[in-house]
Amino acid sequence: MPAAERYAFFSGISGSTKDELWVVGSSGSTIPEQDSIAEHWDGHRWRVVPVPTLRQYAPGYGGGDGLADVVDPSGADAWAVGATDDFTHPRIVHWDGKSWKVVPSPRFSGWLRAVTATRGSLWAVGGNGQALGTLNTIRGLIEQYSCK
């Protein structure tokens, strides 16, 4: 599998057939400079497919981001979730058969770690929290999104 940059770390895989697979994760040269990565298997070879980064759609954000999981129920309708490298913004992206697009996500400090799709709905789980001095408060998170 080709690496998009100096390193690639994959954390999620999904496919609708043996010839239609996605892997997602992070790639880059250093942790603060990492970006989301997605690679697609078409039955013959792996191909890196560009994913919009936070630097592209969140002006002023200087950190990196990554994807943690992907679900692809049909081959042309994949969804991936993750977070910024400092866990200040969750990430949701959607593959419409042509390109990955950013899906607006709730504004909270947290991350999305796993995703599944049901008819008409996308379910994602993760956590949110806030640093309170030396004590961190972290809560489990379950989100449902309409994907009609």
As given in the structure block, the two tokens for residue 91 are 């990430």
Share of the chain above pLDDT 70, in %: 74
Phi and psi dihedrals of 69, rounded to 5? -155, 160
User: How many Å apart are CA 146 and CA 117, to the nearest integer?
Assistant: 10
Taking alpha carbons only, the member of 112, 107, 103 closest to residue 140 is: 112
* Mean pLDDT of the chain, nearest integer: 81
Which residues on adjacent β-strands are paired with residue 79?
71, 94
Give the CA count within 13 Å in the CB-facing half-sphere of 148.
2
For 19-73, write each residue's pLDDT tens digit. Answer: 999 999 988 766 556 788 999 999 999 999 999 876 655 555 556 788 999 999 8
Q: Is the pTM of this model over 0.75?
A: yes
Least confident interval from 10-14, 30-34, 89-93: 30-34
